Amino acid sequence: MRMLILTGGIGHPFADASEALVAILRDGGIAATVTEDIEGGIAGLASGGYDLVTVYALRWRMLTGEKYAPYRENWAFSLSPKARVGFSRFVAAGGGLLALHTAVICFDDWPGWGDLTGGAWVWGRSSHPPFGAVMVSPTTATHTITAGIAPFALYDEVYGDLDMRPGVEPLLIADVGYGPKPILWARQAGRGRVVTDLLGHDRAALEHPVHRELLLRSARWAGSRD
């Protein structure tokens, strides 16, 4: 199985964490290629060389907020219409998608991205408390990704108050003191499979033993065309 990881952005150690993600996947028999060239990476999906793609990035238009002014020139981003079509076709034709952590903030001027991932950040409403201790629990929903997973704790960010699409059934929830928030779900999109995992701020969060297992299960499930 081969995965393409699209990464890059601000506020997160993406280079180091992506390196950890590649190692986790490699130990599970999944070969991963990493690129910060999001447009070029998506264009390459048409070659048929990948079973699934992970978006582990923080790339959006940065239209508001003075704190983002120093970053706009290098990191503000809008996905081209051609790339949107290419991404949608890849998933609809049976390709897998793992939307990891900040992926739900990406591509904020493309409503179809939220339709793929099942949830999207809403500026002015969505938020997260400071990075810190998080308690994660499985829901009553049954799925191969979370089968046998017991509650666990890690240090991470928990995104809340997203624009959740109808029909999304959370598999994991997290509570950091302001009510349970869905943090992992899996769904079908055309012939493709999508897993959205809101955990994964840094290397330690990815390498947590339980999260590591969840990442491998998610990639295998999303990348399977059976």
Tokens of 105: 């903030």
What pLDDT is recorded for position 191? 93
Q: Where do the structural domains in the chain lie, given as residue ranges? A: 2-223
Determine the pLDDT at residue 176.
77
Which tens digit of pLDDT belongs to each residue from 151-195?
999 999 999 899 999 999 999 999 877 788 999 999 999 999 999
Q: Using alpha carbons, list the distances in angstroms from residue 22 to 41, 189, 206.
A: 16, 25, 11
Report percent pLDDT > 70 for the chain: 100
Please give the model's pTM, rounded to 2 decimal places: 0.95
Regions in the chain scoring below 70 on pLDDT = 226
Under CATH, to which class is 2-223 assigned? alpha beta
Q: What is the pLDDT of residue 226?
A: 58
The whole-angstrom separation of Cα 205 and Cα 202 is 5
Euclidean distance between CA atoms 54 and 45, whole angstroms: 12
Long-range contacts, 37-41 (Cβ 8 Å, 24+): 38/6, 38/8, 38/77, 38/79, 38/83, 39/79, 39/80, 39/83, 41/4, 41/6
Give the model's pLDDT for residue 175.
85
pLDDT of residue 95: 95
